[in-house]
Structure 1
Amino acid sequence: MAKKWIASVLILALMAIAMFVSLDNKKEEPSKDASAQILEAGVKAPDFELKTLKGDTVKLSELKGKKVMLNFWATWCAPCKKEMPDMQKLHEEASEDLVILAVNIDPQLDVQGFIDENGITFPILLDEEDKVNQQYQVVSIPTSFFIDSNGVIQEKFIGAMPHDAMVQYVEDLQ
């Protein structure tokens, strides 16, 4: 009986040590990698390069000096469908210093059909490997980032955005 009791205590002790070591290993020092940084206002927008629906390449860092509305969306997303006409209207009203980029996260679907059906003329970028979506830590779509002419995120908006809010965010950019 004493042997069973000692064996039980020993097993519990080993389990406790294993749990402690496991938890201790998870307490790593914070990464200094910029991609691990939480993307919020005041943070430099991570650079990326994606192909457009038309086959051109867009690199965010090459847009320095321009204001950017960076929107993440999908063809099946009802709020995305609702906001696209307002984005198109903003695009038509915008001055030369504003670029609207819409990053599609479901390029395997009929993106071109969606664009044609909705009369969208601003650049549609295809995130075929889901890298930019992850880089920008998008957890809900639509999500829009407003990036100033110095490449710094000034605002992040989650959800469908009405036209007047888009205009206000753009006007607030430097």
Structure 2
Amino acid sequence: MRSVIFILFASTFSLYAQRADINVKVGDPFPPFELKNLNNKTITLDDLKGKVVFLNTWFNGCKPCVEEMPELNKLKDKYKDQVIFLSMTLDSKEETKQFLKTHDYNFEHLVDAEPFLKNVLGSKAFPRNIIIDKNAIIRNIDYGLPHIKNPGEEELKMADYTFFEASLLEILSK
């Protein structure tokens, strides 16, 4: 009985914690934004309407952000014809370009996004992965890829890109 109560408490606390570190939630419209990409082109929410968007928020000093990038690239490779893969980074254009010289990360990058990420989204945890439907409604919010322990293995291992696939496929099927 104690273990059931603990699990319920932990689940409730976990759900509250997830909501407490971001201002938006599943079912909300994604907030309007106007940010520049690495080529100085302005991208807005209106540019994305009518498309499913997988949005990753990150910064180059975030170890979990960097660790999940190879798996996010695999997700993009698999769904690139059906989904817009976009990143918003706290980093400047120059910092992001420098970072990309040594790290393969194939999303379109919106830079200098700190004011939007912190003041509008209220994001206090990174990485964050948000799936937005064709009507600009938030359909899924996750932290980075979780670390899991496979049966028979001693060490935790980061999940692969398929962690996001079920949510993405559900949204694409609508």
Secondary structure of 1:112's counterpart equals helix
Percent identity, aligned pairs only, is 28
Letter of the 2:165 counterpart:
V
C-alpha offsets along residues 82-104 of structure 1, whole Å, 9 cap, x if unaligned?
11111111111114230111101
Letter of the 1:168 counterpart:
A
Q: How far off its partner does 1:61 sit? A: 2.0
1:139 and 2:137 matched? no
Q: Are the equivalent residues in 1 in contact too, given 2:145–2:163 (CA < 8 A)?
A: no
Letter of the 1:172 counterpart:
E
C-alpha distance in 1, partners of 2:34/2:140?
21
Aligned to 1:14: none
Structure 2 CA distance for partners of 1:133 and 1:88, relative to 1, 3 Å: farther
2:163 aligns with one of 147, 165, 168: 165
TM-score for the superposition, normalised by structure 2 = 0.71
C-alpha distance in 1, partners of 2:163/2:114?
30
1:110 and 2:108 matched? no
Structure 2 CA distance for partners of 1:129 and 1:90, relative to 1, 3 Å: closer
C-alpha offsets along residues 49-93 of structure 1, whole Å, 9 cap, x if unaligned?
110112222112221111111111000100000111111111111
1:148 and 2:133 matched? yes
Structure 2 CA distance for partners of 1:105 and 1:170, relative to 1, 3 Å: same
Aligned to 1:39: 24
Secondary structure of 1:144's counterpart equals strand
Q: How far off its partner does 1:147 sit? A: 0.5
Aligned to 1:67: 52
Larger radius of gyration: 1
Q: How far off its partner does 1:165 sit? A: 1.4
Q: Are the equivalent residues in 2 in contact too, given 1:71–1:142 (CA < 8 A)?
A: yes
C-alpha distance in 2, partners of 1:128/1:75?
13
Letter of the 1:87 counterpart:
L
Aligned to 1:12: none
Q: How far off its partner does 1:129 sit? A: 5.3
Aligned to 1:127: 112
Q: How far off its partner does 1:109 sit? A: 6.5
Unaligned runs of 5+ in 1: 1-36
Letter of the 2:164 counterpart:
M
| Alpha-carbon RMSD | 2.0
Letter of the 1:77 counterpart:
C
